[in-house]
Amino acid sequence: MNTEGLYTESWIQDAWDKAAAKVTSASARIGAQFPHGSHEGRFQFMPPHYWTAGFWPGLLWLVYQDQVQKDEELRQLAESCEEKLDTVLQEYERLDHDIGFMWTLTSVANWQITQNEASRHRAMIAASHLMARFNVKGQFIRAWNQPERVGWAIIDCMMNLPLLYWASKQSGDPRFRHIATAHADTVVKHFIRDDGSAYHIVCFDPETGERVSARGGQGYAEKSAWARGVAWAIYGSVLSYRHTGRTGFLEAAERAAGYFLTNLPEDRVPYWDFRLPTFEHGPKDSSAAAIAASGLLDMAAVMEGEQAEFYKGEALSILKSLTQQYTSDDTEEAILLYGTGNVPMNQNINRPLIYGDYYYVEALSKLRGHSSFWGPEE
Ligand code: GLY
């Protein structure tokens, strides 16, 4: 990514230094475990098959790749997390669409940084499992595994597609890319609305492939606009554009970004859903802001002139607000405060979330000239 002359402001350097120091000091307690939400200043851990398993090793890799003097302890912890995921790769029934989040930030990251052949092999197995979830009739990648959800797809899955694009490049076999592109086409057609907001869940008839209904999922309601879902739509769509060059995906990213940006409150960090009946008690979701900011930087990278400046400016203004108003002090292990995981399930509301931290640090890392692990490799 070309960052020439853009990101010399001191707040960016300070934000990076503070975040990298937090990751390093937290690594002493977290080790090779899998943090998710933070409670009373400390991350709580999940088993390795949970969808968030890649974010901590991903953070370790982001910090490691930036270091001049490499802290090999960070690399070893990231590799230990990756090795722990090996048992998950064998548990077929527990694998779902989130394979992309999990192995992109572990094995693909490791492969990109160290060219470790074992990591490449793991990521190819993961990509094969992900590809196998494709429903040919409905042209979508199946989300979860419950029998009653056999025809469900979700907006988050846009972020799993880079693993398939990567696998096509690695293997020279276009099938992975064909499936990723077909799924992304379905998302543009059925998930991203004309105004740029997005459904979380769309249900298809798994036999005929017809669209049957939509569901609110982690959002407030079927027709609401779950903030993180819109952020996934922005970032996932621009990634599909970067990997395929198909302008329809860039237009979808612009539509979703337009909705996200015009509906942000003054501090540039959204409430957990853009269409709540009242925002009086609605918690914010700093993770949605971080994901969107990182995606907007990718949009800036593929655009030119005023458009590129616009998306860069928006990303920087979100990141500045997160840095100034949402970062924690030394009593908290996580970096970003006030994320919202899942309001309908009453989980992790107004809490730091590992993926909020990941995307915030990823965006700062881009400002320092690094490419992300979602590719395409430059
Ligand atoms: N299920 C992914 C998310 O919470 O965004």
Residue 373 maps to a domain? no
Determine the distance separating the centroid of ligand 1 and the alpha carbon of 76, expressed in angstroms: 27
| Structural domains in the chain (count) | 1
Q: Note the pLDDT of residue 6.
A: 52
Instruction: Compute the distance between CA of residue 49 and CA of residue 61 in angstroms, rounded to an integer.
Output: 20
Determine the distance separating the centroid of ligand 1 and the alpha carbon of 127, expressed in angstroms: 20
Residue 375 maps to a domain? no
Residue 239 maps to a domain? yes
Instruction: Compute the distance between CA of residue 106 and CA of residue 101 in angstroms, rounded to an integer.
Output: 9
Identify whether the C-beta of residue 28 lies closer than 8 Å to the C-beta of residue 53.
no
Residue 307 maps to a domain? yes
| Protein residues with CB under 6 Å of any ligand 1 atom | 51, 156, 218, 228
Residue 4 maps to a domain? no
Which residue of the set 96, 98, 285, 298 is catalytic? 98
Residue 3 maps to a domain? no
Q: In the Cβ-directed half-sphere of 291, how many Cα atoms lie within 13 Å? A: 32
**Annotated catalytic, 267?**
no
Q: Note the pLDDT of residue 279.
A: 86
Residue 2 maps to a domain? no
Q: Which residues of the chain have pLDDT under 70?
A: 1-6
**Annotated catalytic, 329?**
no
Q: What is the CATH number of the domain that holds 69?
A: 1.50.10.10
pTM for this structure?
A: 0.97
- For 248-280, the pLDDT digits (tens) are 999 999 999 999 999 999 999 999 999 999 988
Domain housing 178: 9-367
Residue 266 maps to a domain? yes
Q: Note the pLDDT of residue 281.
A: 74
Query: Quick one: tokens of 372?
Result: 């992300």
List Cα–Cα distances, 256 to 197, 208, 306, in angstroms: 6, 29, 19
Q: Is the peptide bond before 376 cis (omega within 30 degrees of 0)?
A: yes
